[in-house]
Amino acid sequence: MASSTLTITDNRTGKRYELPIEHGAIRASDLSQIRVAPGEPGLVSYDPALINTATCKSKVSFIDGERGILRYRGYPIEELAEKSSFLETAYLIVKGELPTTSHFLMWQHNIKMHTLVHENIKQFIQGFRYDAHPMGILIATAGALSTFYPEAKNIMDLESRRVQTRRLIGKMPTIAAFAYRHSRGLPYIYPDNDLSYTGNFLSMMFKMTELKYRPDPVLEHALDVLFILHADHEQNCSSTTMRTVGSAHSDPYASVAGAAAALAGPRHGSANEEVVHMLHEIGSIDRIPGLIKQAKGGERRLMGFGHRVYKNYDPRAQLIKKIAYDVFEVTGKNPLIEIALELERIALQDEYFVSRRLYPNVDFYSGIIYEAMGLPVAMFPVLFAIARTAGWMAQWAEMVLDDEQKIVRPKQLYVGHDERHYVPLDQRREGGAPEVEVHGPL
Ligand code: ACO
């Protein structure tokens, strides 16, 4: 039987090395023994953007990008979307197993106990300008929570980790809704714990003068499914940030603020916002070819298309497309869906997109549903962050308890100047070093 090793011959020295292969990987640190001479630096692997580097072992979610498979803790995303609820899925992600009835009731109770925020958080949010982006408010407020719960720094304490997890999952919808109400100059609505997780969120967003807000069950369910689909996605940019910040043993609030900041980027969780802007900009089907031409010419990206891992289809996009029609039954059809469907049809036939294996991702249809539900575009990445908090906390706890993990500190390949010596300011030639002016990074 073939042994699970990799034999490497270093042609600089003629030496051979045998490296063990485990879980389909070699350890990058095993490469460090490969050196030209004693005292010389050992070989490193160079992997910008960590495209082919596993940085952890994880049991949370599994993706097979070729076959379009996503599972949380082994359960197919399609089954969870059809049969589970967001809070149950959050339990599964955080704790590793589906709950029994009594555990689920306790979990629900524990999350609801933490939906309120300290009154000073309201004032903190009040301090933002009226037009502050809600994602900026969410990032800052998540970080600010760390000052309210200083005991969160006890990251090795199980009970502390549990409490911060419940707090974060419980408070994210409240902070998100307050951020929205702030932008509209509307009074903040306190949580209604008689409602479901998503029903309460809709209440905090949209309740006006009525005594009791009653969410439409179809929209409440659609949002719940969307939250399930966004709850975790293995080592994406924001979860990697969560692990990286957390690896310094910063508290989970600081780490979630970092993860949310990563999610805010248009190449990650803000893509859903960009998709809707793009579809509005297209405006009518006859303008699609112009956009496709721009994308193919490298002038812009087709937002909501492409994924680092999924190369055939994103299973979440397929599920979301189905929910869109349930939502439209209640809200009326969002006219953007026709543009989106036609854009997808044309792109999927085009050699440029086919050869690069660019398919609609989770963000392509989610924004259209959110918009139909009356959720403002700026809130789309915020909705993503609420759901992803479950995944961030699970990934963070896994990192904290993993004996192999240390503070993240990658290597670099230094390609800058060799040693040079300081020239006093008055002796530097004016107009010198033109490359700095022309090519400098900042
Ligand atoms: N539109 C047009 N061309 C694209 C797109 C796109 N959306 N995405 C990738 N390409 C092209 C690139 O220009 C590149 O072409 P080239 O080989 O001729 O240079 C090729 O496809 C590969 O692109 P990369 O940037 O190398 O792919 P990568 O895996 O690094 O990027 C990403 C993945 C960031 C998702 C990218 O596809 C993208 O920017 N998509 C649009 C933004 C988006 O929808 N992001 C949401 C992702 S899902 C999520 O985060 C929840």
Residue 278 has pLDDT above 60, yes or no: yes
Higher local confidence (pLDDT), 440 or 279: 279
Q: How many angstroms is it from 356 CA to the middle of ligand 1? A: 9
Q: For residue 391, what are the contacts with CB-CB under 8 A and spacing of at least 6?
A: 60, 61, 93, 231, 232, 233, 239
215: left (phi over 0), alpha (psi -120 to 50) or beta: beta
- The protein residue whose alpha carbon is closest to atom 14 in ligand 1 is 356
Residue 1 has pLDDT above 70, yes or no: no
Q: How many angstroms is it from 308 CA to the middle of ligand 1? A: 7
Q: Of 407, 126, 388, whose CA–CA distance to 260 is shortest?
A: 388
Q: For residue 328, what are the contacts with CB-CB under 8 A and spacing of at least 6?
A: 334, 337, 372
- Dihedral sign from CA coordinates of 20, 22, 25, 30: negative
**Cβ–ligand 1 contact at 307 (below 6 Å):** yes
**Cβ–ligand 1 contact at 300 (below 6 Å):** no
Residues serving a catalytic function are: 268, 307, 363
**Cβ–ligand 1 contact at 357 (below 6 Å):** no
Dihedral over alpha carbons 427, 431, 436, 438 (to 10 degrees): 180
pLDDT band, residue 312 (cuts 50/70/90): confident
pLDDT band, residue 284 (cuts 50/70/90): very high
**Cβ–ligand 1 contact at 303 (below 6 Å):** yes
Question: CA 136, 239, 380: angle at the middle one, nearest 5?
Answer: 40
69: number of CA atoms within 13 Å, CB side? Answer: 11
Length of the chain: 442
Mean pLDDT is lowest, of 91-95, 188-192, 322-326, for 322-326
Quote the pLDDT of residue 318: 87
In angstroms, rounded to a whole number, what is the distance separating the alpha carbons of residues 315 and 76?
10
Q: Are 122 and 178 in contact (CB under 8 A)?
A: yes
Site to probe by mutation for ligand 1, drawn from 236, 305, 311, 353 as the one with most ligand atoms within 8 Å of Cβ, is 305
Encoded tokens for 309:
């891992």
Q: Is 69 helix (H, G, I), strand (E, B) or coil?
A: strand
Q: For residue 188, what are the contacts with CB-CB under 8 A and spacing of at least 6?
A: 122, 125, 177, 178, 181, 182, 204
**Cβ–ligand 1 contact at 271 (below 6 Å):** yes
pLDDT in tens, 232-277: 999 999 999 999 999 999 999 999 999 999 999 989 998 888 999 9
pLDDT band, residue 437 (cuts 50/70/90): low
Q: How far is CA 40 from CA 10, 16, 31, 415, 419, in A?
A: 14, 17, 13, 17, 19
Query: DSSP secondary-structure letter at 194?
Result: T
In angstroms, rounded to a whole number, what is the distance separating the alpha carbons of residues 60 and 152?
23
Site to probe by mutation for ligand 1, drawn from 61, 135, 267 as the one with most ligand atoms within 8 Å of Cβ, is 267
Q: Domains in the chain, please, with CATH? A: 5-46 (no CATH), 49-407 (1.10.580.10)
Q: How many angstroms is it from 193 CA to the middle of ligand 1? A: 41
**Cβ–ligand 1 contact at 306 (below 6 Å):** yes
Residue 438 has pLDDT above 70, yes or no: no
Question: CA 439, 440, 442: angle at the middle one, nearest 5?
Answer: 135
Quote the pLDDT of residue 441: 75
